[in-house]
Chains A and B, each alone.
Chain A
Amino acid sequence: MTSSSKPVKQIHLAAHFPGVNNTTVWSDPAAGSQIEFSSFAHFARTAERAKFDFLFLAEGLRLREQHGRIYDLDVVGRPDTFTVLAALAAVTDRLGLAGTINSTFNEPYEVARQFASLDHLSAGRAAWNVVTSWDAFTGENFRRGGFLREEDRYARARQFLEASWQLFDSWHGDELLADRASGKFLNDPDAGRFAYRSSEFDISGRFDVPRAPQGRPVIFQAGDSDQGREFAAASADAIFSRHGTLFAGQAFYADVKGRLARYGRQRDELKILPSVTFALGDTDVEAHERAALIRRQQVSGQTAIRLLEQVWNRDLSDLDPDGPLPAQDPLIGEHTIARGRASVRMTRDPLAVANEWRALAGTKRLSVRELIIEVTGRQSFIGTPARVAEEMNRFVQEDASDGFILAPHLTPTGLDEFADKVVPLLQERGVFRTEYQGDTLRDHLGLAAR
């Protein structure tokens, strides 16, 4: 069998607006506003110029804290997801508009009408990344207050989504007549009727947004746990993964795609899109130099200490970032140092991580800062545009993903160089569109209407 027996996959590309962790370099002279609409408009127009599938906005509902104080070393503050996406619909025509919206601190009726409205106002370009929180810390900003038991959060997310689907589907799409002559605006006196009852919800009545162009918005899921993968296989149109290396990507891809059959779904009904970073240069050497420079911008000495604290769960303020790792072991038990950060909750056995890092620092003679630069967030693709295009294509063709969500380090121009230099090479290879073939995000992603 030759490799040509396998059809060439088309790559899907999305752009992640730089967020509020240390991937985003705000200290660079070229870094612009994280809040002004002009930044979002520039970023979106660049993505659309490059024929990207969609733009993605993350969400946070409480400012992060470390040592009980607001964390001030990264970008702090961002606008409301829905509102920015609706405004971006006015300055773009085809680009998908994806946002993270939490299922814990919202209600299905309101979220469903917001997504259905966004889909109408963008003529079929809305996507929803469904996430769950369970921490009382974030809950302090909401009526609901804290706390959802961790084991209940996927149940709530699943039920939230089921309720929302029922709301999206409560209008079938043929109710609106608007016929002046007969005086019939609707053909169904019961349009929008719904009722959903579960352990988390008991809602009923009539939904007030007629069926949106995409029916249901495109659904994304980001969890990596077994439950998260199962939830995605059952319910999502696309999954944001974290697996930026070829082997890890292939394992994840095979695992998640393998779960689809259980739900009667085809392999291409769920797109796998890892979040990746990149550094470009005219030569590979130059690209690696730029990558190293960006990493040093992303990980200052102070940032290195704070990231180390998130594993050690201790105050390490007195540690010299240019010196060795602390002799003490991580504090095991309830994590108290940092709050409002998903990455902290996902840290595996802190002692194992600490020992691994100590071994690495010992072998390579790394300071704290050098170690953190080495072990966190190295760019996924580094090289000339030709090399990056080649590696990205290989990644997709060898089934490590169906495409990528690019997370540039600069706002708002971080996507420009990729759009100008890498996208044309992917287009030359015939693996990325040169024009949008359809109008809706479902069209771009090759997903059937739902």
Chain B
Amino acid sequence: MPENTSTPLHLAVALDGAGWHPAAWREPEARPAELFTARYWADLAAEAEHGLLDLLTFEDGLSLQSDDPFAPDARTDRVRGRLDSVLVAARIAPLTRHIGLVPTAVVPFTEPFHLSKAVATLDFVSSGRAGLRVKVSARPDEAAHFGRREAALLRLDEPDTPQKLATLAEEFGEVADYVEVLRRLWDSWEDDAEIRDAGTGRFVDRAKLHYIDFTGSRFSVRGPSITPRPPQGQPIVASVAHRTEPYQLAARSSDLAFITPHTPHDARAALAEIRDAQQAAGRGDETVHVFADLVVFLDDRPGAAADRLARLNDSAGAEYRSDARIFTGTPGELADLVEELAATGLTGFRLRPGALPYDLERITRGLVPELQRRGRFRTAYEASTLRGLLGLPRPANRYADTDTVGPAATV
């Protein structure tokens, strides 16, 4: 990656409930009674698009939010409940024109065939702005929601044991298989498969539809997709990565990795590992974006954001902790940090607003103009697809120019 100090940066915002701080819903500007309405999400997306952001991610899971990473809790003082993130993204898509929409899929409990056509369809309804973040599950309660008693318990908080490493390898192996199936299904229709040839009466050229015949340890999928190849060809695949196994997944399978460095040193180490794995996977000449996640509390007056975080912590009854670095300060101070971290080779940032819509508005109305002044952020949308915004070409179809439709094509 070039480390040109004037390279424009990419900015994503991660939306989750009323914001990432557990007491954010009690803030004066918060809209906690509207979290389950379309208008709330549409307003946030409009604000983000007004700020020319590259994309929004939507947190999701298949269990009620909990402070306990492995089980439900009985708290009543925090946001609980959420809407399916693919459908939230789809609901917003017709109301926006430029911003990328990246919902979340929990891999072990969902069907890659369903998610592939859902994201392809999100790409159609957004005219080329869809992505998907894939994630593993470490939650036995999620497993019980799906009647899976055999689910492995991933204790990321405990020391690595051979058994834990084997489980990690297996879980991330399934994610890699899942992404492989998504990608094959997106390519299972060539772009010009629909011919509508009245002369021969054929709607499609079936030589341009492909069985994907994937067989993995946990599922097999025959294909082709029921949905044609989406506008971007391949929608964006994103993943969050904190350690070696997900770094390798990102390097092998993703277009976009979200990492959680607390220092430039952390960022360099993670980047080195991802870039090495990318080379090893034969993707050295492809762009794999690596964004740093930061939880942000922003105020224009110096010190005000730190005071606000302290107040939020009081309200929550506990100091807020996160896997990502927590930033408090002014938009200008955040711009300084962003530039310092970007010098390590990061290509962008995913900002997790501490409170919504407050900190989102400080991003779009404070940080963005500041980065624009510094020549580090776009002043207008330069593309209409998410791949375009991320500088990624529309990829060739892996099945194009092959001359068979698969082994079942017998008469």
**Which of A73, A121, A189 meets B202, CB within 8 Å?**
A73
Let me know if B226 and A89 touch, CB within 8 A: no
Identify which of B71-79, B322-330, B339-347 touches chain A: B71-79
Whether a CB of chain A sits under 8 angstroms from the CB of B311 is no
B42 to chain A: closest residue by CB: A90
A83, B76: Cβ atoms closer than 8 Å: no
A274 contact set on B, CB distance < 8 A? none
Query: Which residue on B lies nearest to A186, using beta carbons?
Result: B76
Which among B64, B94, B125, B204 is the interface contact of A208 at CB below 8 angstroms? B64
* Chain A nearest CB, measured from B292 CB (Å): 29
Residues of B within 8 A of A315 (CB): 411
Given A72-B203, A109-B146, residue A80 in contact with residue B224 (CB < 8 A) = no
A205 near B145 with CB under 8 A, answer: yes
Contacts of A123 in B (CB 8 A): 37-38
Whether A184 pairs with B145 at a CB distance below 8 angstroms is no
A141 touches B72 (CB 8 A): no
B91 touches A70 (CB 8 A): no
> Cβ of A367 < 8 Å from any Cβ of B?
no
The yes or no answer to B194 lying at the interface (CB within 8 A) is: yes
Do B121 and A192 touch (CB < 8 A)? no
Tell me whether A80 and B121 are in contact in the complex, defined as CB-CB below 8 angstroms, given that A68-B411, A117-B84, A141-B221 are known contacts.
yes
Q: Is there a chain B Cβ closer than 8 Å to A204's Cβ?
A: yes
Q: Is the CB of A113 within 8 A of B226?
A: no
The answer to whether A190 and B110 touch across the interface, beta carbons within 8 angstroms, is no
A432 CB to nearest chain B CB (Å): 28
**In the bound complex, do residue B87 and residue A121 qualify as a contact, i.e. CB atoms below 8 Å apart?**
yes
B162 at the interface (CB under 8 A from A): no
Q: Chain A residues with Cβ under 8 A from B111's Cβ?
A: 105-106, 142-143
Min CB gap B76→A, angstroms: 4
Chain B residue at smallest Cβ distance from A90: B94
Smallest Cβ-Cβ distance to A177: which chain B residue: B76
CA distance A183 to B228 in the complex (A): 48
* Min distance, Cβ A163 to any Cβ of chain B, angstroms: 10
Residue pair B113, A83 in contact (C-beta under 8 Å)? no
Tell me which residues across on chain B come within 8 A of A209, comparing CB atoms: 36, 81-84
Residues in B whose Cβ lies below 8 Å from that of A191: 64, 80-81
B258 CB–A CB distance under 8 Å: no
Measured between alpha carbons, how far is A73 from B35 in the docked complex, in Å? 46
Asked whether A300 and B201 contact (CB < 8 A) given A141-B223, A210-B36, the answer is yes
Whole-angstrom distance between the Cβ of B129 and the nearest chain A Cβ: 12
Q: With an 8 A cutoff between CB atoms, is A110 at the interface?
A: yes
For the complex, what is the distance from the CA of A107 to the CA of B147, rounded to whole Å?
Answer: 9
A44 CB to closest chain B CB (Å) equals 11
* Residue pair B204, A107 in contact (C-beta under 8 Å): no
CB pair A203 B146 closer than 8 Å: yes
Provide the bound-state CA to CA distance between A199 and B124, in Å.
Answer: 39
Q: Does B163 contact A (CB under 8 A)?
A: no
The answer for the CA separation of A224 and B80 in the assembled complex, in Å, is 41
> B86's contact among A61, A83, A187, by CB below 8 Å, is which?
A83
Q: Give how many A residues have a beta carbon under 8 Å from the other chain's beta carbons.
A: 80
Are A41 and B94 in contact, CB atoms less than 8 angstroms apart? yes
> Is B306 an interface residue, CB under 8 A from the partner?
no
Q: Which residues of B contact A140 (CB under 8 A)?
A: 220-222
Check if B76 sits within 8 Å of A192, measured CB to CB.
Answer: no
Which residues A220-276 have CB closer than 8 A to chain B? none
- What are the residues of chain B within 8 A of A185 when measuring CB–CB? 25, 32, 76-80
Contact indicator per residue, chain A 48-88, by CB within 8 Å of chain B (1) or not (0): 00000000000011110101111011111111101110110
Chain B contacts of A106 at CB under 8 A?
A: 111, 114
Bound-state CA distance A302–B84 (Å) is: 43
Contact A192 B198 (CB under 8 A): no
Whether B92 is near chain A, meaning CB under 8 Å from some CB there, is yes
* Residue pair A117, B81 in contact (C-beta under 8 Å): no
Q: What A residues does B79 contact at CB under 8 A?
A: 185
- Interface locus among B283-291, B351-359, B369-377, B402-410: B402-410
Known: A107-B146, A140-B222. A205 touches B63 (CB 8 A): yes
Set of chain B residues within 8 Å of A353, measured between Cβ atoms: none
Instruction: Return chain A residues, CB-CB under 8 Å to B84.
Output: 82, 113-114, 117-118, 209
Contact yes or no, A79 B120, CB < 8 A = yes
> Is B189 located at the chain interface by the 8 A CB criterion?
yes
Which chain A residue shows the least CB distance to B75?
A189
Beyond A80-B117, A142-B219, 11 additional contacts (C-beta under 8 Å) are: A69-B408, A80-B121, A82-B86, A84-B125, A106-B111, A141-B222, A180-B26, A183-B315, A185-B32, A185-B78, A208-B62
Q: B residues touching A (Cβ–Cβ < 8 Å)?
A: 25-26, 30, 32-33, 35-38, 42, 61-65, 72, 74-84, 86-88, 90-95, 109-111, 113-114, 117-118, 120-122, 124-125, 127, 141-142, 144-147, 189, 194, 196, 198, 201-206, 209, 218-224, 226-228, 315, 405, 408-411
Which 5 A-B pairs give the minimum distances between C-beta atoms? A189-B74, A178-B32, A86-B90, A140-B222, A83-B121
Q: Please, could you name 17 A-B residue pairs with CB atoms under 8 Å apart, sorted by A?
A: A61-B113, A69-B408, A79-B117, A82-B84, A86-B87, A86-B91, A106-B114, A109-B146, A110-B62, A113-B84, A120-B37, A121-B91, A123-B38, A178-B33, A185-B79, A186-B80, A207-B64
